[in-house]
Structure 1
């Protein structure tokens, strides 16, 4: 059986590829040089190399790294000119590269633009080296070749790097006594999609449960926090798709470790994700790091003595009747108050035209806008509307725990999210102070507040009020 596997290894055809580019991600950059070394499992059997005109400017820092200038590629062929030849060299072979998930999206994307759909298996010599030649301080191509005594000439040029990668690959094939390379090519292997520096064992330990996951850099610092209904599936989706985005390349290049915190429910995962982003400020999280654009409903009395309600951005020196995250949410709430408390849409700035008040037309405005209703009577209804949204209930959302003998709790005290955690399933929740002592305190933000209250409104059967 071993001889059969060895024979298969030698008769598998490989294409060892290296490219130089104008930038770090395929969706916004082009190829400036490509080299392909054909390998039969024992030795290099053919090669191809060419400069490529990317039809976009090569940044100065790229030129400093590679030595490739805009003048050098001006007369070079476009990728479309060599696409057919590149496709024929790659089709039916295993695509091999040092950090393959950088090179492959560029080549696949450029071929796709020219009408060629590349669908081949991949191998990453960084991941293979970590497995078959463990213990080195660095697995960059230059440092690894130096450590192994592999010649590397013309560094950061496609032909030189491809030739060195081919020598490295031959070395790894010779050391592969347990046929790890062939196992990496199997359909269910994750070796070809994971970041080159992340041990597969870390991925295998990820649970199929809700929770929060963390990507760490080489120093252990958290660079991204994500939440998931299923942690294993969500982490896998970051790397198994065909995205050519900057984010995916950042994850592939900088993620060295993956950790996680399981949660009982997706809601708890969303809350934990938000607090962790605010706490850790990871470099590759964007959405919740932006300053919250908060809005509020404010009340003031006009010159005629009528209380008026208006939606504005939150103001430092004024207290809002009610705050919310999205402008549409505020308009929805104000329209509901107008209908329920018979308020005037003109005095609430929902209707801003000079046309006749739609509230008068529809019968819910009693004429305050035309002074047909006195200010005192109208203002009483405005104050009642304000009280209805200022009431701050205390409640706990109770759901299943992480295991059968526990239950999860999310505690809201006087309208503010204050704590969450897990308690034994046989504990009767009756005393809010006792419950608060049993849970982990968290700092609230507006995103979490709206999230929790919206969830409580949607699933009232899971809410216990105090």
Structure 2
């Protein structure tokens, strides 16, 4: 197999308007370099001052360079039959495709990202940016942000990945192009190229402009592409064939994306969300007192008249969290439905349960700890902001908890929040709380250590 390892430098305007100012390609077979190609490119517009400082490429450097249309045929011929490889391939591949689309040509190659592949085949590094990962692996990178230098470093990284790939996993990272013939004729694949690989929600519509599916992802474009290639089930095939339009909304914050997804699914009830039960909170955490007066907790399927303390997407998901809370609050396995049988629970036998399972612990003392858990799940009635990444580097995404209940979300400029916490109020999008929202927030606080909490007076 042949690989075209590519790096580009661009003008640095808005991503949709990026123009190539330099391109370098190294043809590779995985073990050695076969050939190389590089050139400056005249973008026919100004290079931003930031990019000029970053790359050292100025308008005067590209004034006499060939324009993209003058090298387009050479690039197509040079990369023919190869897999397009780049560090953060969605950027380089996306810019190249847009350049060709301006010329009326549909440039498509199977492609592979060395960032994603490195995370799997070379785990354990703090950062997988090209500068950091090459430094960690002792790969030379001189003149970072010049196309040929970055391409040479990426090629060395690719060689390491290729050598490390003993079980032929590399092939699974190659993304094949979407086949337009299996999609709805109204779906504009060019529109797909403009979807960023960032965190947010996405929506699918049929040819009557009816909303048929809502999803969330930390990599929206990759997830949408997976839908359009999915042929594993009858439902997936059916949905793929009726998607006529796609929209998306960035959130930056996964927490906000989860809340928006749940809210919009409840509001619109799209047909394919109803068909895929994993998007719904089907199970809950329920409380009852047994004949001895002990408070018992159990995860079970939700019923219309039920009043769960928390909700979950599956019984397995619910039991996983209940196991964690049982440990944290020193509850009895048997009284949490995590131990079957009439005898003492396993934790009692290893002296980690006070004996509520066999009536040894004082009922009132035990129930106090259950009540503490319930109070904790309701945020102890506190009011606070949870801040997370925003849609860009200049803002925070935030979620408001008021008196222990979810009250809405919003996006606020970082300087405003730093100046005064109460500034969030003018950016708040108010929402009514429910158990599903409470569950999402609680689970994300448990999973995501990067979320910050700001208590409100």
Q: How far 1:398 sits from its partner (Å)?
A: 1.6
Q: How far 1:401 sits from its partner (Å)?
A: 2.3
Q: 1:328 to 1:465 in 2, by over 3 A?
A: farther
Asked if 2 retains the 8 angstrom alpha-carbon contact of 1:400 and 1:408, the reply is: yes
Alignment match of 1:309 (pick from 278, 296, 303): 296
Q: 1:317 to 1:278 in 2, by over 3 A?
A: closer
Asked if 2 retains the 8 angstrom alpha-carbon contact of 1:400 and 1:406, the reply is: yes
Partner of 1:300: 289
Partner of 1:220: 209
Asked if 2 retains the 8 angstrom alpha-carbon contact of 1:191 and 1:200, the reply is: no
Separation in 2 of the partners of 1:424 and 1:282? 33
User: Which structure 2 residues correspond to residues 433-448 of structure 1 after superposition, within 5 A?
Assistant: 435-448=424-437
CA displacement, residues 118-155 of structure 1 (integer Å, 9 cap, x when unaligned): x9xxxxxxxxxxxxxxxxxxxxxxxxxxxxxxxxxxxx
Partner of 2:397: 408
Q: How far 1:426 sits from its partner (Å)?
A: 0.6
Q: 1:434 to 1:246 in 2, by over 3 A?
A: same
Separation in 2 of the partners of 1:461 and 1:257? 34
Gaps of 5+ in 1: 1-118, 120-177
Partner of 1:76: none
Q: 1:307 to 1:437 in 2, by over 3 A?
A: farther
User: Which structure 2 residues correspond to residues 75-154 of structure 1 after superposition, within 5 A?
Assistant: none
User: Which structure 2 residues correspond to residues 249-264 of structure 1 after superposition, within 5 A?
Assistant: 249-264=237-252
CA displacement, residues 47-74 of structure 1 (integer Å, 9 cap, x when unaligned): xxxxxxxxxxxxxxxxxxxxxxxxxxxx
Alignment match of 1:362 (pick from 346, 350, 359): 350
What SS does structure 2 have at the residue aligned with 1:426? helix
Q: How far 1:216 sits from its partner (Å)?
A: 1.8
Q: How far 1:427 sits from its partner (Å)?
A: 0.9
Asked if 2 retains the 8 angstrom alpha-carbon contact of 1:343 and 1:381, the reply is: yes
Separation in 2 of the partners of 1:315 and 1:262? 34
Aligned residues: 285
Alignment match of 1:267 (pick from 211, 233, 255): 255
Q: 1:330 to 1:290 in 2, by over 3 A?
A: closer
Alignment match of 1:419 (pick from 388, 408, 413): 408
What SS does structure 1 have at the residue aligned with 2:213? strand
Asked if 1 retains the 8 angstrom alpha-carbon contact of 2:398 and 2:411, the reply is: yes
Bigger Cα displacement from structure 2, 346-355 vs 258-267: 346-355
- What is the Cα-based RMSD across aligned positions, in Å? 4.1
Separation in 2 of the partners of 1:412 and 1:420? 9
Q: How far 1:339 sits from its partner (Å)?
A: 5.1
Partner of 1:198: 187
Separation in 2 of the partners of 1:248 and 1:346? 40
Scaled by the length of structure 1, the TM-score of the pair is: 0.50
Q: How far 1:375 sits from its partner (Å)?
A: 4.5
Asked if 2 retains the 8 angstrom alpha-carbon contact of 1:274 and 1:288, the reply is: no
Scaled by the length of structure 2, the TM-score of the pair is: 0.50
Partner of 1:230: 219
Partner of 2:196: 207
Asked if 2 retains the 8 angstrom alpha-carbon contact of 1:411 and 1:436, the reply is: no
Q: 1:407 to 1:375 in 2, by over 3 A?
A: closer
Gaps of 5+ in 2: 1-80, 82-101, 111-176
Asked if 2 retains the 8 angstrom alpha-carbon contact of 1:422 and 1:439, the reply is: yes
CA displacement, residues 363-416 of structure 1 (integer Å, 9 cap, x when unaligned): 344455555555455555555555454524433232332233322112233443
Q: 1:437 to 1:337 in 2, by over 3 A?
A: same
Partner of 1:17: none
Larger Rg: 1
What SS does structure 2 have at the residue aligned with 1:309? strand
Separation in 2 of the partners of 1:318 and 1:245? 32
CA displacement, residues 88-143 of structure 1 (integer Å, 9 cap, x when unaligned): xxxxxxxxxxxxxxxxxxxxxxxxxxxxxxx9xxxxxxxxxxxxxxxxxxxxxxxx
